[in-house]
Amino acid sequence: MFALITDIALTHIAGRGRQTLVSILGVALGVGFSIAMAALMQGSQEEFVTSLIDALPHVDITDEYRDPPRQPADLAFDVAAYSNLRPREDTRGILNATEAMTALRAFIKGNAVASLKVQAVARAGGAETGISLTGTDPVREALISSFDEDMRKGKLSDLRASPFGIVIGDKLAAKLTVDIGDTIVVSSTGDITRRFKVTGLFHTGVVAQDNAFGLVNLKAAQIIAGRPNAVNEIRVRLNDAQSARDVATQIERLIGYKSVSWQEANESLLEAFFIRNIIMFTVVGAILLVAGFGIFNIVSIITHEKSRDIAILKSLGFAERDVRLIFLSEGLAMGLAGSLLGWALGFGLTKVLASVKFEIAQATEVTHLPVTFDLLHYAIAASFAIIAAATAGYLPARKASKLNPVDIIRGAT
């Protein structure tokens, strides 16, 4: 029976070749462009998130508390008044960092490194600029960040052989007019000054890092900060970056210090991506809705033109359901044909977009548009199109099935 329904439906739409083709093309364009757009959107999102994940620790544990500790008197009394309080010496840092690191290594799947962040001023000759120093273990640093891969001159591990060695961004080196092997003077805010030998230059592509960031040995950072054995940050890199949110919660529960996952740190950005995706799907939906109107139009025309055929089919013994199925099949056939054509178009467009090469002024290498091939895009676009086509076919189909054959036969005779 279904073969008969299909035969009649296909004969109808073949009888209006040009309009059918226009409707199918409308769906194909909608599906094709939505696939290409989704590939580009997801590609750019994935590239951005990947660079974010590569550039930042997956979990960043700092010497802060999410709920700052209260004054002891507040804990002991209902009401307490304070005056002339003297601040404590700045002894902030992660207490028992070694134990914390041991505890972390026992349950996280990944690597962690303890480090000390210090703000300082770097000088070379007459040039002077602010620098954010991170004292770290170069070997572990290579496991948790991408600095090792971003080295343009020297190696990160060269720091091990040079207790007062420093690795800086290439832009910072240019500002200070130094190169590998040169010496720069670093002064901390506590007026401790040391000479550091430049052992490496990196280029991360992140301007803030390339312009004002340096890596030194942990001991050297503790000396320049005047804080022996202090650590104010533990950075964690997980094998599964997506698990960072759960791991951060577990760490915070375990050691008490504020642990921020990369997702939490970039919440607003991820929200922006979410909103961008909603906008994308809205636009895609609108395109397919317009395509759906095309199908509605053609199926409506066919039902109008074929009202006599509907009457005769009903007189032969076709049920209302059969008539509905015929015209619904016409909408679906156009949706299906449009989707298949749209898949090919979408695939082609995505290929073309992926092959587009361009150069950004600051970048040194040729860049491609980031695109992602994902079967889900094809499935979603086709589902959207087929649902739109089915709806567009169903409305006139329902009307056609309700036609009274007697009225039409009387009209025809």
Residue ranges that bind other proteins, judged by CB under 8 A: 1, 3-4, 7-8, 11-12, 14-15, 308-309, 311-322, 404-406, 409-410, 412-413
Spell 323-360 as b/e; 16+ CB within 10 A means b.
bbbbbbbbbbbbbbbbbbbbbebbbebbeebbeeeeee
Is-contact 150 204, C-beta < 8 A? yes
Complex with other proteins: residue 8 or 255, whichever CB lies closer: 8
Q: How far is the CB of 12 from other proteins (least distance, A)?
A: 8
Q: How far apart are CA 137 and CA 343, in angstroms?
A: 51
Complex with other proteins: residue 329 or 350, whichever CB lies closer: 329
Q: How far apart are CA 368 and CA 364, in angstroms?
A: 13
Complex with other proteins: residue 24 or 311, whichever CB lies closer: 311
Q: How far apart are CA 313 and CA 307, in angstroms?
A: 10
Residue 56 neighbours by CB distance under 10 Å: 21
Q: How far apart are CA 350 and CA 40, in angstroms?
A: 8
Measuring CA to CA, which residue among 147, 135, 213, 221 is closest to residue 175? 213
Q: How far is the CB of 397 from other proteins (least distance, A)?
A: 15
Measuring CA to CA, which residue among 44, 356, 364 is closest to residue 205? 364
* 207: exposed, middle or buried (Cβ count in 10 Å: 0-12, 13-18, 19+): exposed
Complex with other proteins: residue 122 or 403, whichever CB lies closer: 403
Tokens of 271: 């929200």
Q: How far apart are CA 361 and CA 367, in angstroms?
A: 11
Q: How far apart are CA 320 and CA 332, in angstroms?
A: 18
Q: At 208, which amino acid appears?
A: A
Measuring CA to CA, which residue among 314, 295, 332 is closest to residue 403? 314
Complex with other proteins: residue 1 or 366, whichever CB lies closer: 1
Complex with other proteins: residue 167 or 397, whichever CB lies closer: 397
Complex with other proteins: residue 3 or 75, whichever CB lies closer: 3
Complex with other proteins: residue 11 or 71, whichever CB lies closer: 11
Complex with other proteins: residue 95 or 409, whichever CB lies closer: 409
Could you list the beta-strand ranges (E) of 282-356. none
Q: How far is the CB of 289 from other proteins (least distance, A)?
A: 31
Tokens of 150: 């971003």
Q: How far is the CB of 412 from other proteins (least distance, A)?
A: 6
Q: How far apart are CA 235 and CA 237, in angstroms?
A: 7
Q: How far is the CB of 385 from other proteins (least distance, A)?
A: 26
131 bridge partner residues: 120
Complex with other proteins: residue 302 or 332, whichever CB lies closer: 302
Tokens of 203: 């280029």
Q: How far is the CB of 308 from other proteins (least distance, A)?
A: 7
